[in-house]
Every structure is written in structure tokens, then in C-alpha cells.
């Protein structure tokens, strides 16, 4: 498999699913929900999980009793999220939509955008549009939680290229 497409390419998420969404990532989300004061959400909160992917946060939030809506542009990731929700008896709503366009004015107490899923559009105006939809979807007094990796953090993680082989697949990460 050779893939050089960008994050907007649904094949990228499908082909590299096992590399991007390991069991460790799901465990990490559960741990964060158990320990982070930032994720100590009010009882009964209505949560919008933007760029939800395969439900890494959506499913455990739903299992904790929150009314969760997961939004992602990838049909393949939403299919996995729906399957995981069913498997774990974690009812959630899933919507296929672009983060720049999805807004439900005042419908959510909390908007999450996790695992540095923000800021990748080439045009800064598109990033601003995404922020506007997040803002517009919040109820008055709601909370926006953006998970971002700053340049200082990333600079500290500079490493040689990483090569991972799984069967016939090879991932080169630079």
C-alpha cells in the first residue's frame, strides 16, 4: 500500500486505521475522562464531539450518560463509531458533516475537538469558520475544549523518521 494523500482523503483514514487508532488511543481517552478536570463535564451535558473519528471519545462519553453527537466527514470512521456504540451499548447520534459547516445553534453544553483535529486547513479562513461553528453550537455559558499541540511540544518530539511494518503494509512517518 502506498498512500501520500492528505487528511481530507477518506482512504487515508481507512488504510491507516490500525496505525492511527490503536487500542492504546481508546484506553488513553478513557483514562483522560476518568482523570482530567477539563473533562469533568456537568451531569446530563449535551456534548458535540467534532472530528469524532471512530468514536474514541464519543462512545465513552455516551456510556457515562451524556447526550453525545459525534460529527465527522469520514463515512468509514462514522461506520466504525456506530458499530462501537452498538457493541458497547453507548447510544450516540452520528452525523456526516464538514466541521466548517456543521452548526446547531445553542444545542450543546460542551463542544470537544480532540487529538489535535483542529487547524489543518490551508486557508486560515477555513479554520476560523470551524471555530465559528463551534461557538455557534454552544449554549450560553457552554464550554469549548480544543486539544492542540503547540510548536514547543512538537519540537520536543522531533525524532528520526519512524517506520512501522504490519504484514504487507509499511508506514513511514516523518
- Residue 19 domain-assigned (yes or no): yes
Q: Please state whether 112 falls in left (phi above 0), alpha (psi between -120 and 50) or beta.
A: beta
Residue at grid coordinates 517506520: 163
Q: For 139-172, what is each residue's pLDDT tens digit?
A: 999 999 988 765 555 556 556 667 777 777 777 7
Q: For 23-73, what is each residue's pLDDT tens digit?
A: 777 788 889 999 999 999 999 999 999 989 899 999 999 999 999 999 998
- Residue 160 domain-assigned (yes or no): no
Give the span between the Cα atoms of 115 and 108, in whole angstroms.
20
Dihedral of CA atoms 126, 132, 134, 139 in degrees, nearest 10, equals -170
- Residue 158 domain-assigned (yes or no): no
In sequence order, what are the beta bridge partners of 41?
none
- Residue 143 domain-assigned (yes or no): yes
* Domain coverage including residue 55: 10-25+43-149
Q: How many domains does the chain have?
A: 1
List, in sequence order, every beta strand (DSSP E) within the chain: 46-50, 67-72, 93-96, 108-113, 138-146, 162-166, 169-173
Q: What is the side-by-side strand order in the sheet with 93-96?
A: 93-96, 67-72, 46-50, 108-113, 138-146
Would you state the pLDDT for residue 167? 76
Would you state the pLDDT for residue 52? 92
Would you state the pLDDT for residue 2? 39
- Residue 131 domain-assigned (yes or no): yes
- Residue 2 domain-assigned (yes or no): no
The CA distances from residue 42 to 37, 90, 124, 144, in Å, are: 11, 18, 32, 13
Would you state the pLDDT for residue 14? 63
Task: Kindly report the number of other CB atoms within 10 A of residue 116's CB atom.
Answer: 15
More confident residue, 93 or 172: 93
The domain that contains 110 carries what CATH number?
Answer: 3.40.50.150
Q: Which three cell numbers stand for residue 137?
A: 453550537
At residue 20, does pLDDT exceed 90? no
Amino acid at each position: 500500500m502506498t498512500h501520500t494523500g492528505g487528511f481530507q482523503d477518506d482512504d487515508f483514514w481507512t488504510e491507516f486505521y490500525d496505525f492511527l487508532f490503536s487500542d492504546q488511543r481508546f484506553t488513553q481517552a478513557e483514562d483522560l475522562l476518568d482523570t482530567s478536570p477539563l473533562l469533568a463535564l456537568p451531569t446530563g451535558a449535551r456534548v458535540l464531539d467534532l472530528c469524532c473519528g471512530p468514536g474514541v471519545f464519543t462512545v465513552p462519553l455516551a456510556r457515562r450518560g451524556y447526550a453525545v453527537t459525534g460529527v465527522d466527514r469520514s463515512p468509514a470512521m462514522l461506520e466504525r463509531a456506530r458499530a462501537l456504540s452498538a457493541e458497547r451499548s453507548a447510544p450516540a447520534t452520528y452525523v456526516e458533516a464538514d466541521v466548517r459547516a456543521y452548526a446547531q445553534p445553542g444545542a450543546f453544553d460542551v463542544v470537544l475537538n480532540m487529538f489535535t483535529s483542529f487547524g489543518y486547513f490551508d486557508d486560515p479562513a477555513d479554520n476560523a469558520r470551524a471555530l465559528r461553528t463551534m461557538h455557534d453550537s454552544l449554549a450560553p455559558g457552554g464550554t469549548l475544549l480544543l486539544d492542540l499541540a503547540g510548536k514547543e511540544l512538537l519540537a520536543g518530539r522531533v525524532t528520526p523518521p519512524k517506520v512501522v511494518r504490519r504484514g504487507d503494509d509499511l508506514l513511514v512517518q516523518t
